[in-house]
Amino acid sequence: MISIKNEQEIELMRKSGQITYEVLMKLKDFIKPGVTTKDIDKFAHDYIVSHDATPSFLGYEGYPASTCVSINDMVVHGIPDNTKIRNGDIVSVDVGSIYKGYHSDSAYTYIVGSVDKQTEDLVNNTRKALYAGISVIKEGIKLNEVCSAIGKVGRENGYGIFECLTGHGVGTTLHEDPYIPNLSNHESEGIILKSGMTLAIEPMFSLGTKEVWLLPDEWGIITRDGSVAAHFEHTVLVTKDGYEILTGE
């Protein structure tokens, strides 16, 4: 069952999304060599709680932090610790907040200092895939048109597209129906978008494999071949003639 939000709920989703967005924008200046992933987490946590919201991930299925900070070959769900950011890293930060019961979820991959051209392209193309997916959204289309637009960018660049990691509906809980795979798939063909749906679209691509390992901490997910991975995510509202990005300007 895919929930449809009414105008009042959408207003709360907007507030939630705005706080999440601001965290990721403020982190652009905060993330530097020497900063630990725990410092990033504390920054995000403190920003969220000082804006009348709650970190969406903290305690979610036992998750111990407010953000996921995933460096280089870590795809997603990196638990913040004492690891220091270094020049040449790509750092993906995934964060969510709850405002008056409504969740928003967003992620951004930061390039620290200088990286090789291939890595820089991966980051830019993963962001491009996010907007390629979002730009087709409007009431009446098949969800698979979104999946397919995202997957096309990944495929054209020869990137690894993780089949087991998907976007999702978002609202009164962090993860709602439907699953939103990052490539064309049969199940999404049968789902028609309606205005009032709120979706977390989140492409993740690697420079190599689409296969992953789960770390012993049972959260962190890394590429099996050690290739670097990027991740971008927005919470998006479906409208009659298009969409509204809730975790953006």
| Chain residues in the site for ligand MF3 (CB under 6 A) | 57, 60, 63, 68, 77, 94, 105, 168, 233
Is there binding between residue 236 and Co ion (CB under 5 A)?
A: no
Give the helix ranges, DSSP H, for the chain: 7-30, 37-49, 117-135, 143-156, 186-189
Q: Choose the one of Co ion, ligand MF3, none that binds residue 73, judging by a C-beta under 5 to 8 angstroms depending on kind.
A: none
The nearest distance, CB 19 to ligand MF3, in angstroms, is 15
| Interacting residues of 117 by C-beta distance below 8 A, sequence separation 6+ | none
CB nearer ligand MF3, residue 55 or residue 151:
55
Amino acid letter for position 34: G
The nearest distance, CB 234 to ligand MF3, in angstroms, is 11
Q: Choose the one of Co ion, ligand MF3, none that binds residue 41, judging by a C-beta under 5 to 8 angstroms depending on kind.
A: none
Residue 109: in which H helix or E strand, if any? Answer: strand 102-111
How far apart, in whole angstroms, are the C-alpha atoms of residue 166 and residue 188? 12
How far apart, in whole angstroms, are the C-alpha atoms of residue 40 and residue 3? 32
| Interacting residues of 177 by C-beta distance below 8 A, sequence separation 6+ | 1, 2, 3, 168, 169
Determine the length of the chain: 249
Is there binding between residue 176 and Co ion (CB under 5 A)?
A: no
Binder of Co ion out of 9, 73, 89, 105 (CB under 5 A): 105
Q: Choose the one of ligand MF3, Co ion, none that binds residue 53, judging by a C-beta under 5 to 8 angstroms depending on kind.
A: none
Binder of Co ion out of 90, 200, 222, 245 (CB under 5 A): 200
The nearest distance, CB 15 to Co ion, in angstroms, is 18
The nearest distance, CB 175 to ligand MF3, in angstroms, is 6
The nearest distance, CB 57 to ligand MF3, in angstroms, is 4
How far apart, in whole angstroms, are the C-alpha atoms of residue 139 and residue 137? 7
Q: Tell me the residue number closest to ligand MF3, measured at CB.
A: 63
Is there binding between residue 221 and Co ion (CB under 5 A)?
A: no
How far apart, in whole angstroms, are the C-alpha atoms of residue 20 and residue 200? 13
Binding site for Co ion (CB under 5 A): 105, 200
